[in-house]
Chain A
Amino acid sequence: DAGVTQSPTHLIKTRGQHVTLRCSPISGHKSVSWYQQVLGQGPQFIFQYYEKEERGRGNFPDRFSARQFPNYSSELNVNALLLGDSALYLCASSQSGTRHYGYTFGSGTRLTVV
């Protein structure tokens, strides 16, 4: 079975640009979460979506937005990119939005803002 897939794997953008990152959860998983991991730190929670509804939001500015599609895949959008947005962006999926199942992470998208 395919795991959580993220695309692209690497991306270079210029300050002020917009970026869209994509995530496909494990088949049957209805919950998708997004995390940002800056070099040398642990991942930080950005969003969680379950059944196409936002169920949680971390302490990130409004430049960050996300959505979940009917097939449960998800997009993370970041507007007006800053140098500080350079990070590994991780997507995690789980079977439910509320239970304590183990969450499966993708390998991430490495975003570099120059």
Chain B
Amino acid sequence: DAKTTQPPSMDCAEGRAANLPCNHSTISGNEYVYWYRQIHSQGPQYIIHGLKNNETNEMASLIITEDRKSSTLILPHATLRDTAVYYCIVRVAGETSGSRLTFGEGTQLTVNP
């Protein structure tokens, strides 16, 4: 699975959009981009995933650049409960890949009142 690079920490004001970047310059054509987050002392929580098109769900939006070498997770209106470590993961989805998720060190997002 391709390696990802994320900033170690970011701050965001409550009510503002939080934009979390991720670089995955060695991503392969069959690898998806996943985002998870982990609130302190809890298990990681799935947020969103995508291949090459922008994706949106009730939690967030995922913007993937045209060359797929980077992506941005957008939390449109951050709340204090969004304070967490956010992980960007790329992996192959297919018959032989299994369910292995390769976590990096993630980005600690702190939402301030």
Contacts and interface: CB of A to CB of B under 8 A. Distances in A.
Contacts of A94: 99
Interface stretch (B11-19, B61-69, B70-78, B103-111): B103-111
Q: How large is the interface on A (under 10, 10 to 19, 20 to 34, 35 or more residues)?
A: 20 to 34
Interface in B28-69: 32, 34, 41-46, 49
Nearest to A104: B46
B95 A98 contact: yes
Which of B44, B87, B95 has the most chain A CB atoms inside 10 A of its CB? B44
A94 B87 CA distance: 18
A42 B98 contact: no
Given A97-B98, A98-B95, A42 B103 contact: yes
Contact of A56 (B87, B93, B95, B99): B99
A4 B101 CA distance: 17
A95 B15 CA distance: 35
A90 B41 CA distance: 11
Interface stretch (A61-69, A72-80, A105-113): A105-113
A100 B32 contact: yes
A103 B34 CA distance: 11
A92 B43 contact: yes
Contacts of A44: 103
A108 B32 contact: no
Nearest to B42: A107
B99 A92 contact: yes
Nearest to B51: A100
A98 B43 CA distance: 21
B106 A98 contact: no
Interface string B81-96: 0000101000101111
Interface of B: 32, 34, 41-46, 49, 85, 87, 91, 93-106
9 contacts: A4-B43, A42-B104, A48-B99, A94-B99, A98-B95, A98-B99, A100-B49, A100-B91, A108-B42
